[in-house]
């Protein structure tokens, strides 16, 4: 366990790279910035999110790998089930400090102690709206009770952060008095909380400037006005040295500030390292899978489009200089650059995409391929690798010999164990196989892999489903991205049956990959 006060700042004095050069000077006055992740507590309070103990452990491991300083593992006061989750995280032996959220009630601290955590964030009301209306108390009683609870927690060897709930709407003088009393009672720090995403950056700066003069100060910001990141930055500029956030920005209402955005902004603009950035994308996908909240395509750092280029001008520039249209290399946060094709595609991007699949074209053929790619894109379709290769084959009047073709598919999901059977044409043979899985799609995919045997040694990189018509008979499009060795391919298939669309897309992807790099052994057994 690593106490927050012992963490040290790493300032990178070197430029990121010659291409992605630092463009600003150090303007955050503190010499130490640490991050508290509250995905397992505030993030789980997002509507519809409920994490199992195993999912909390998986996320905690991913947070540890990313180098988060403090992990708020939950609210020990919630239930015995929640306390068991917190215990499991606390007993992992992580370097990170593991804490629990605690209300201004002594029993909440006792519950936290029972979970063997390293510390607590002690939350007390600070605005009159919360003091008078929510808990029916007075300012004087809040300060008196806070001092009593801080002293109690400190006496039990807990790291203590005192948080004034709804601090952005509190009377500034009272918030300062509350923070001063907390520090005097032994709290390790005080947290300025913009609980409802209400504050302006100017107000945040003014308040945190006063609070940071009293002792170590944290900021907890929400994004209801779109100011979550801005207010976190304003707090740091005002002297805060500690930021609360969640992975992918999940949380109540519009969510919390995204911890990965805070980390990359500090590194890129100020040379301040807070997280192990190459582990960030794996962390983001772990949280997305566990919560069921997909990564927004246009989200900074982790969105699908963040390092994806379609425009002909941008693609051409990126091929000439990878830093032309990106602020930092995708590898910085564990990502890869993608060049996709659509109605904005240009010659350079299309030629590069064809070259990745070892397809050579003349200038005249390239012009025809580009024209047809644009035409396909203008009809609202994203052009997959399979589409591009099919267009090139047609332009060059080439017949493609398939390695693998789906002949029949049968699924059954009404019983306890979903099953599927497939018949494939593999080379000159027909092969039949069956599989079971967590659902019909999973069972069918396992059947395909069983039929292909060692030849199905491809990684499924992504699986995306879109409904393209409405109603109970909706047609869906399934897009898969797969990699085999050094070759990658994206393929889409549409059908009213999601299982058939999924299997068709995967079989077509495997067919393209096997064509690009035939297996050393025959695909089919004799």
- Helix or strand or coil: residue 397? coil
For the domain bounded by 308-395, which CATH number is listed?
1.10.238
> 404-516 belongs to which homologous superfamily?
Alpha-isopropylmalate synthase LeuA, regulatory domain (3.30.160.270)
Q: How far apart are CA 58 and CA 50, in angstroms?
A: 14
Q: How far apart are CA 199 and CA 371, in angstroms?
A: 51
Predicted local confidence at residue 380, as pLDDT:
65
Q: 367 with 354: CB under 8 angstroms?
A: no
Domain ranges of the chain: 29-291, 308-395, 404-516
Tell me the residue ranges of DSSP E strands in 303-342. Answer: 308-309, 338-339
Packing angle, helices 228-237 and 259-270, rounded to 10: 50
Residue 344 has pLDDT above 90, yes or no: no
Q: 51 with 44: CB under 8 angstroms?
A: yes
Instruction: Find tokens 């509507």 and name the residue.
Output: 47
Across 275-279, 386-390, 456-460, 478-482, least confident range: 386-390
Q: How far apart are CA 90 and CA 443, in angstroms?
A: 37
Predicted local confidence at residue 309, as pLDDT:
64
**Residues 378-406 pLDDT 10s:** 766 667 776 777 788 778 887 777 788 89
Length of the chain: 526
**Residues 34-62 pLDDT 10s:** 999 999 999 999 999 999 999 999 999 99
> 29-291 belongs to which homologous superfamily?
Aldolase class I (3.20.20.70)
- Secondary structure string (H, E, C) spanning 355-395: HHCCCCCCHHHHHHHHHHHHHHHHCCCCECHHHHHHHHHHH
Predicted local confidence at residue 339, as pLDDT:
67
**Residues 302-340 pLDDT 10s:** 987 888 765 555 555 555 566 677 888 889 999 877 766
Predicted local confidence at residue 257, as pLDDT:
98
Average pLDDT rounded to a whole number, residues 209-224: 98
Predicted local confidence at residue 321, as pLDDT:
61
* Model confidence, pTM: 0.76
Across 5-14, 18-27, 154-163, 336-345, least confident range: 5-14
Packing angle, helices 347-356 and 312-320, rounded to 10: 60
Q: How far is CA 376 from the centre of its chain?
A: 31
Q: How far apart are CA 267 and CA 282, in angstroms?
A: 19
């Amino acid at each position: 366990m690593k106490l927050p006060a012992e963490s040290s700042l790493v300032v990178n004095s070197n430029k990121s790279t010659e291409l992605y050069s630092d463009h600003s000077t150090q303007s955050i006055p503190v010499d130490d910035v640490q991050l508290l992740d509250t995905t397992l507590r505030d993030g789980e309070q997002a509507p519809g999110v409920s994490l199992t103990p195993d999912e909390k452990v998986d996320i905690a491991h991913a947070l540890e790998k990313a180098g988060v300083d403090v992990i708020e593992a939950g609210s020990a006061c919630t239930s015995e089930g929640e306390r068991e989750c917190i215990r499991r995280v606390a007993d992992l032996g992580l370097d990170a400090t593991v804490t629990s959220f605690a209300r201004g009630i002594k029993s909440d601290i006792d519950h936290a102690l029972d979970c063997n955590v390293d510390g607590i964030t002690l939350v007390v009301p600070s605005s009159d709206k919360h003091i008078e209306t929510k808990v029916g108390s007075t300012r004087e009683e809040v300060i008196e009770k806070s001092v009593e609870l801080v002293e109690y927690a400190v006496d039990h060897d807990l790291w203590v952060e005192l948080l004034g709930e709804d601090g952005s709407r509190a009377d500034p003088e009272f918030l300062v008095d509350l923070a001063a009393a907390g520090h005097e009672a032994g709290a390790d720090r005080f947290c300025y909380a913009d609980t409802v995403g209400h504050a302006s950056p100017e107000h945040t700066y003014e308040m945190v400037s006063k609070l940071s003069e009293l002792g170590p100060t944290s900021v907890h910001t929400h994004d209801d006005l779109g100011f979550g990141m801005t207010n976190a930055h304003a707090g740091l500029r005002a002297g805060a040295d500690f930021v609360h956030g969640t992975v992918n920005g999940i949380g109540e209402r519009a969510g919390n500030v995204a911890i990965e955005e805070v980390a990359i902004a500090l590194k890129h603009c100020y040379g301040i390292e807070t997280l192990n950035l190459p582990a960030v994308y794996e962390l983001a996908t772990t949280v997305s899978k566990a919560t069921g909240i997909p990564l927004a395509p246009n989200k900074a750092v982790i969105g699908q489009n963040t390092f994806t280029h379609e425009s002909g001008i941008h693609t051409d520039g990126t091929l000439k200089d990878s830093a032309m249209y990106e602020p930092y290399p995708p590898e910085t946060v564990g990502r890869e650059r993608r060049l996709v094709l659509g109605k904005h595609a240009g010659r350079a991007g299309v030629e590069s995409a064809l070259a990745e699949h070892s397809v050579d074209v003349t200038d005249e053929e390239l012009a025809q391929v580009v024209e047809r790619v644009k035409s396909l894109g203008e009809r609202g379709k994203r052009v997959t690798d399979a589409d591009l290769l099919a267009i090139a084959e047609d332009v060059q009047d080439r017949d493609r010999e398939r390695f693998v073709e789906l002949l029949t598919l049968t699924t059954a999901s009404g019983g306890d164990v979903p099953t599927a059977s497939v018949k494939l044409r593999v080379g000159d043979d027909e092969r039949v196989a069956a599989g079971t899985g967590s659902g019909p799609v999973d069972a069918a995919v396992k059947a395909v892999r069983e039929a292909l045997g060692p030849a199905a040694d491809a990684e499924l990189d992504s699986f995306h489903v879109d409904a393209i018509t409405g109603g109970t008979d909706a047609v869906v499009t399934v897009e898969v991205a797969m990699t085999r060795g050094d070759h990658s391919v994206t393929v889409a298939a549409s059908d009213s049956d999601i299982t058939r669309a999924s299997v068709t897309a995967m079989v077509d992807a495997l067919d393209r990959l096997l064509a690009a790099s035939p297996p050393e052994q025959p695909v089919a057994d004799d």
